[in-house]
Amino acid sequence: MRLEKCWFCSSTVYPGHGIQFVRNDAKIFRFCRSKCHKNFKMKRNPRKVKWTKAYRRVHGKDMTQDSTFEFERKRNRPERYDRNLAESVLKAIPKIDKIRVTREERHHKNRMKGNKEKLLKEAVKELEQGISLVKAPSVLQQDPSLTLPKIKVKVSQQQSEETPAMEE
């Protein structure tokens, strides 16, 4: 039994699920659910639809080149049953899966590197530009204690203190 991949979103199509479309040139299109089938009928390009695996591959969101991808593949030749081989394969599957998961986590971590600093910088900038919405500039001039601190870490704390002041 073969577990095929969905044409649109590349997820596995399990037996009894999804739908298959055979075009009049004998090309087979398998879909895991009606969502994918509908998107295909709308002639959407999976590379441009953000939730598909194809998009994530093309845009560097997922790991692309890895040795763990070499194990699962379509094998178009019969394999003679061998009990020892089957046992060792069953033993190897969870190990390989574990390695793949850790590598994917590492890839995600690398991809997200530097995001925190960027977000913090943006937040600081927004606060500096938008402080006049919370507190009028004239009030800030009168009471210099209300001005923004220079330390970046205390930014979120300062904001929470100022919001009740506005309600008064």
108 or 121: CB nearest other proteins: 108
7 or 131: CB nearest other proteins: 7
How far apart are CB 166 and other proteins at their closest, in Å?
40
58 or 123: CB nearest other proteins: 58
Give the interface with other proteins as residue ranges (CB under 8 A).
5-8, 10-12, 23, 25, 27-30, 41, 43, 45-47, 52-54, 56-57, 68-77, 100
Long-range contacts of 94-103 (CB under 8 A, 24+ apart): 96/68, 96/71, 99/68, 100/66, 100/68, 103/63, 103/66, 103/68
Contact status, residue 31 vs residue 8, Cβ threshold 8 Å: yes
How far apart are CB 74 and other proteins at their closest, in Å?
4
How far apart are CB 89 and other proteins at their closest, in Å?
15
Q: Which residue has the tokens 């073969």?
A: 2
59 or 152: CB nearest other proteins: 59
Tokens (6 digits) for 142:
């009168």
How far apart are CB 121 and other proteins at their closest, in Å?
34
Biggest CA-to-CA distance, the chain: 87
Contact status, residue 55 vs residue 49, Cβ threshold 8 Å: yes
